[in-house]
């Protein structure tokens, strides 16, 4: 393989990491509070707002129902308005983030709902406010599940980042299509696939390690 192709692979890998990291961070910034609200705003819950909960739930479900490649094409005008262009790595962050927010929100919601309701009642009995319960009880107790959920989200974003290469998003997906498919270079496609697999394995391993570290219920090994 030529030095030019090696440089292209390195650049494409960094582009993929950039897209995934920024969209995961933005998706978490917006998805975390949305997921917490969805988990605590049904009738009789901490932030009881059943009508808003229902409307937001419908919006989240609708956003998650749209196939990603269709979403990318459908929001091209919005992407162009936000990023100034509809092609390139920075532009790809827009649809990646929009896809990540509802996905992360549902993962956070499910993680919060797994927390023992007895802990909430105990905190209420001690006079804690709803926001205090969320900050000091729900989120800390759900942190291992939240971590695993965010790990799953990042893994999905890696796959999405490869798909967005089909519409000019750059990164490993774009490289695989332009060289591996259009120029009939199967070795490039194989290397792209291997890099994506390695990235997924690294993210999964790190996520599981961190989730185990923050899980207060997990038994500690000897010497810890």
What is the pLDDT at residue 154?
A: 96
Mean pLDDT for 67-93 is 90
**What domain range is 144 assigned to?**
3-214
Structural domain contains residue 178: yes
Residue 220 clears pLDDT 80, i.e. is over it? no
Total of domains in the chain: 1
Residue 109 clears pLDDT 70, i.e. is over it? yes
Q: How confident is the model at residue 223 (pLDDT cuts 50, 70, 90)?
A: very low
| Measured distance CA(74)–CA(66) in Å, rounded | 10
Residue 1 clears pLDDT 70, i.e. is over it? no
Mean pLDDT for 160-188 is 82
What is the pLDDT at residue 6?
A: 85
- pLDDT tens digits for 83-97? 888 888 899 999 999
- pLDDT tens digits for 197-206? 999 999 999 9
In the numeric block, the tokens 């650049």 are attached to: 11
CATH number (domain holding residue 134)? 1.10.3720.10
> Is 84 in contact with 96 (CB distance < 8 Å)?
no
Structural domain contains residue 133: yes
Provide, rounded to the nearest whole percent, the portion of the chain with pLDDT above 90. Answer: 57
Q: What is the DSSP string of the chain?
A: --HHHHHHHHHHHHHHHHHHHHHHHHHHHHHHHHHHHHHH-STTSTT--HHHHHHHHHHHHHHHHS-HHHHHHHTHHHHHHHHS-SSSHHHHHHHHHHHHHHHHHHHHHHHHHTS-HHHHHHHHHTT--HHHHIIIIIHHHHHHHHHHHHHHHHHHHHHHHHHHGGGT--HHHHHIIIIIITT--HHHHHHHHHHHHHHHHHHHHHHHHHHHHH-TTSPPPTT-
Structural domain contains residue 224: no
- 138-167: b or e for each residue (b if 16 or more CB lie within 10 Å)? bbebbbbbbbbbbbbbbbbbbebbbbbbeb
The DSSP symbol for 114 reads T
Structural domain contains residue 223: no
């Amino acid at each position: 393989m030529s030095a030019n192709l090696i440089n292209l692979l390195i650049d494409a890998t960094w582009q993929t990491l950039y897209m995934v990291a920024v969209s995961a961070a933005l998706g978490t910034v917006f998805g975390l509070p949305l997921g917490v609200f969805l988990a605590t705003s049904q009738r009789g819950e901490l932030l009881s707002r059943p009508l808003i909960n229902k409307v937001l739930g419908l919006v989240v479900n609708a956003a998650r129902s749209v196939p990603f490649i269709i979403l990318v094409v459908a929001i091209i005008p919005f992407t162009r308005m936000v990023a100034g262009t509809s092609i390139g790595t920075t532009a790809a962050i827009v649809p990646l983030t929009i896809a990540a927010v509802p996905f992360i929100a549902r993962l956070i919601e499910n993680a919060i709902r797994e927390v023992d309701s007895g802990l909430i009642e105990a905190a209420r009995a001690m006079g804690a406010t709803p926001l205090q319960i969320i900050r000091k009880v729900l989120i800390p107790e759900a942190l291992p599940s939240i971590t695993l959920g965010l790990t799953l989200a990042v893994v999905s974003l890696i796959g999405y980042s490869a798909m967005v290469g089909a519409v000019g998003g750059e990164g490993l997906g774009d490289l695989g299509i332009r060289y591996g498919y259009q120029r009939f270079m199967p070795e490039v496609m194989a290397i792209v696939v291997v890099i994506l697999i390695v990235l997924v394995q690294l993210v999964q391993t790190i996520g599981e390690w961190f989730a185990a570290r923050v899980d207060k219920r997990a038994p500690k090994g000897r010497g810890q």
